[in-house]
Structure 1
């Protein structure tokens, strides 16, 4: 930024005010020039002119100078108006900053603590829900294990019953074989009995015929023999012998037939009991198969929603874990940010305290500078300009962040703009005084 400063002769010279030090040097030179007596713009008075006669002034040059001054004044006024607007904005910002410095804003920790408490409550609720879901999952797993154990028991019982059924089938086949064998033996025994009966009848018939046809010649004394008694005794003897043989054969056959009948009855009873047991086992097998199928269908029907619930719960559990991890990370970030802000506030307070202590310790320096300024030029804006602005106390980079440095730089720029604005106002006032003196001349 650069603007024109009036020289002692009335013409402007461009001075660089790109920095605050350059502006101070320019203003200091201007104050020294203004403190000297003003040189009139009229031509010098020669010795030939009499005292009290007006000085000869070239009117075209004065008009051009006045026109140039008017144009420069107009530009200055426009700049002053613009700077006033900027000054108002900057003054408002400065007032806000000063108000904040005077009444430091107390951070409302309740606003931060409330969402933190809400997050803690949500985390607790989520952990409780997670625990409930884990309990439900454990219960479902235990129920599933019970069903699996029952299914294993039923399958083991089924295998044992199948083995028993196979053994019973083998026993039934063996009983059938023994029954067939016994029936064959009975047929053989009956055939043998019939054959023996026929043989016995034949032998008896043959004996009877032989007895009838036999002629026994016995020569005995008729006086001492009794033929009828002898024949009678022989008949009685043979009859007894035949009866004895018949009884023995009948008893033998009866005993044989009784044993066969007992065995047959026992075999028939065993066969009937085997058939009844076989039928019972078949019924039990069918009922067990039906029960197994029903239990499998019911277990599958029950396990389908349980599996769906387990899958959904696992998905929800993953989402909840991800949300909890995100919230924990955000909470950690907020905590770190809070600690950093507290540290920065503490450092800023320490820096502000150091600057205040320096200003309190060196009040004589400002008084010495005020004494050097001439008394008629102690204008408040000029006094503010001549006072050295506080340099931006920037600590090392390790102590502050970029935000802190930019904040301090902004404050320093605001102070510089304020000093520039005040210098422009002072120059405009001095320019008006010069114009008044020119018009009077």
Structure 2
């Protein structure tokens, strides 16, 4: 486990730095002639004057103690003090980082709680606003569907009205054509012309008959005036019946021809008149049906017009109601939308602030992990130094006695 700011064993670190300094000093001072340092006294009794007997003098298996000059000792003490100050600064920095991490965690929890309270406070109000908005949208959609349906019905009625008007115009045109055909029938004109022609021929024949009669009478008078002889008279008497018979026959033929022509003309005229009467009756019946259908169409048009006017009134009322509802709820919807937008903006700001705090927390966590790794490295180095022989823990000054290392006791007393 990584120790806290107060749980770091300063004495252990000092011990480790002291041991490291001792190893470095032994490498510089006791490395032998080959390293350029002075040779240390051997264990065969070559001790400096005034030096007391160490544990090696009493026990041959223990290495001789190390003697260091006062200048070297002062430099080592200064270096150890600098390292102790650096370690204390690192400890203070690590403690400050931990305190900042705790403060950020507390601030994060506070922001989370504030966000939860804001969400809980605005949740029912937002739900109410959303419910009202959904209700208004559904009502607007229903009104829009009704308006579209009424517009479709109006368009259909307008189409039917246009078709009925076109049909009325067609029937009116047919009626006018029938009236024109009844007023000036072409067949009647032909029959009249034929009758007049036959009458003229009859008159000509009658004139010719009258002329022949006059001629016959004049001839008779001439014959009587001339006083013919008996033979001639007898001949005249003989020819007179023949002439009378011939004239009678001619007259009979002309009269029969005239009567025949008159009968034919009358029959043709009667047949044509009957045909025209039938056509007139048919046209009159068609005209009556057209008038009846036109009246029915007019009634339908009037009813459809009334229905269209009613639907127009309903549509205008619905549109007016829709505009009133839009005006009524528009301001409220705008206020709700402003509230929702403001709350969303606050939530977005809180999210951004939380993200920023999380980034800072992650950076501090990375720094903490780096410090944990460094502390773990120091701990491993300390454990490695503890497992080595403690010959360098005591430093002898001149002829003074050796000072045993008590780092294990210190570590145990501090509870590291």
TM-score normalised per structure 1 = 0.44
TM-score normalised per structure 2 = 0.46
Structure with the greater relative contact order (CA < 8 A, sep ≥ 6): 1 or 2?
2
